[in-house]
């Protein structure tokens, strides 16, 4: 298939592109390079630098490349930032997604994968969290993804548009050649590895008074290559109908456990200090991915946190200052 990948120069998108090309698909990347990196784009992918706010630019890509399907990664993605800058999320994520979907409908593209998020489940009644959990977006970020999920529901009803919403839990890890490089970096694993590289003095643990066994937040860490695999399987299955999947490992690790694993993998003491809570962090988020396992025979190839950390560490050692630096 020919797949248009928005955000294909970003962390998760660039690794999805790598896996699509390995699977024999052809890829067009559309990315404004706001957080993405030109060097992260697989050399066999066509690259168009453009912004989803620019409807004419999207239409031009649709006309020139005639994709069979779209994977929509491009987005603002930070829960904390979305609370500080709600319009960046509630306006831009939604308007940009809407431009893309409208252009897809007008150009006859009927397969669409949305990067969605565990931030839809701010107040879960059951753990692990399956697709029947009630949706309570935890931030303008989560809300922006939920609006796009609802948008897609109507596209399916009105235009036979087939979509999958993939709700990622905590994406992490790297392939041999692509990894995580955000500016500024806010995610736990790359920050901890920056301490091990000597680029930061210590890691601040955002609160140790949560209702968890060691008091620090518990998250479900899922390897980006496994997320990429889920996208490819979902894209191939779309003719059988639209769907929603929660994507994680089904196991939770606390912030302290992540730091301890990083100490073991890197051999660095990684000093840690307890700081205040970060707004918007729920105690525990663990995914049930039984539905996608059942429907698409998906299961993580890298379920062990230690292996995920080793792969991330390997990439960070080879790219201590990320891409292009």
Among 62, 54, 49, smallest CA distance to 112 is for 62
Q: How many alpha carbons lie under 13 Å from residue 47 in its C-beta half-sphere?
A: 20
Is 141 a catalytic site residue? yes
Residue 89 CB, shortest distance to ligand UFG, in Å, is 11
Catalytic residue (choose from 141, 146, 221, 302): 141
Residue ranges of E strands in the chain? 2-6, 26-31, 46-49, 69-72, 111-117, 162-168, 170-172, 203-206, 218-219, 221-223, 243-247, 253-254, 272-275, 284-285
Q: Secondary structure of the chain: what % helix, strand, coil (to 5)?
A: 40, 20, 40
Q: Do 109 and 49 touch, CB atoms closer than 8 A? A: no
The least distance separating ligand UFG from the CB of residue 256, rounded to whole angstroms, comes to 9
Q: What span, in angstroms and rounded, lies between the C-alpha atoms of 112 and 277?
A: 37
Contact present, 122 and 136 (Cβ < 8 Å): yes
- Minimum distance between the CB of residue 227 and ligand UFG, rounded to whole angstroms? 12
Burial class (CB in 10 A: 0-12, 13-18, 19+), 262: buried
- Complex with ligand UFG: residue 161 or 302, whichever CB lies closer: 302
Strands 253-254 and 218-219: antiparallel
Residue of minimal Cβ distance to ligand UFG: 217
Instruction: Compute the least distance from the CB of residue 205 to ligand UFG, in Å.
Output: 4
Q: 117 vs 242, which CB is nearer to ligand UFG?
A: 117
Round to whole Å and give the CA distance between 166 and 128. 16
Nearest residue (CB) to ligand UFG, 72 versus 219: 219
Q: How far is the CB of 248 from ligand UFG (least distance, A)?
A: 9
Nearer to ligand UFG, 26 or 194 (CB): 194
Helix 188-196 crosses helix 305-318 at what angle (to 10 degrees)? 60
**From the CB of residue 267, how many other CB atoms can be counted at a distance below 10 Å?**
10
Nearest approach, Cβ of residue 213 and ligand UFG (Å): 14
Cα-Cα-Cα-Cα torsion 176, 177, 182, 187, nearest 10 degrees, comes to: -10
Minimum separation from the CB atom of position 68 to ligand UFG (A): 28
Comparing CB distances to ligand UFG, the nearer of 47 and 315 is 315
Q: Which is nearer to ligand UFG, 238 or 287 (CB)?
A: 287
The residues of the shown chain that bind ligand UFG, judged by CB under 6 A, are 77, 79, 117-119, 169-170, 186-188, 191, 203-206, 217, 219, 255, 278, 281, 285
What are the φ/ψ torsions at residue 168 (nearest 5 degrees)? -80, 145
Is there a cis peptide before residue 61, judged by omega within 30 degrees of 0?
Answer: no
Residue 152 vs 286, nearer CB to ligand UFG: 286
Q: Which residues are catalytic?
A: 141
């Amino acid at each position: 298939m020919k797949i248009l990948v928005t955000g294909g120069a970003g962390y998760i998108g660039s690794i999805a592109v790598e896996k699509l090309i390995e699977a024999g698909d052809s890829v067009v990347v559309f990315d404004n390079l706001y957080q993405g990196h030109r060097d992260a784009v697989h050399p066999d992918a066509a690259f168009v630098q453009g912004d989803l706010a620019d409807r004419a630019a999207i239409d031009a890509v649709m006309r020139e490349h005639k994709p069979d399907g779209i994977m929509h990664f491009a987005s603002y993605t930070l829960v904390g930032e979305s609370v500080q800058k709600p319009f960046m999320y509630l306006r831009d994520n939604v308007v940009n997604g809407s431009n893309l979907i409208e252009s897809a409908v007008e150009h006859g593209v009927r397969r669409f994968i949305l990067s969605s998020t565990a931030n839809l489940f701010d107040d879960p009644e059951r753990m692990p969290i399956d697709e029947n959990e009630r949706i309570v977006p935890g931030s303008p970020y989560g809300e922006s993804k939920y609006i796009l999920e609802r948008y897609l529901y109507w596209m399916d009803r009105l235009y036979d548009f087939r979509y999958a919403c993939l709700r990622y839990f905590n994406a992490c890890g790297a392939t041999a050649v692509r990894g995580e490089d955000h500016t500024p970096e806010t995610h736990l694993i790359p920050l901890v590895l920056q301490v091990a590289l000597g680029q930061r003095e210590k890691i601040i643990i955002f609160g140790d008074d949560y209702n968890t066994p060691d008091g620090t937040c518990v998250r479900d860490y899922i390897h980006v290559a496994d997320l990429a695999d889920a996208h490819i399987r979902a894209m191939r299955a779309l003719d059988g109908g639209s769907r929603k999947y929660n994507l994680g490992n089904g196991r939770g690790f606390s912030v302290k456990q992540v730091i301890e694993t990083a100490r073991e993998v890197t051999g660095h003491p990684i000093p840690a200090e307890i700081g205040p809570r970060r707004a918007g962090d729920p105690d525990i988020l663990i995914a049930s991915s039984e539905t996608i396992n059942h429907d698409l025979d998906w299961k993580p190839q890298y379920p062990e946190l230690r292996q995920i950390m080793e792969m991330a560490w390997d990439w960070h050692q080879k790219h201590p200052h990320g891409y292009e630096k």
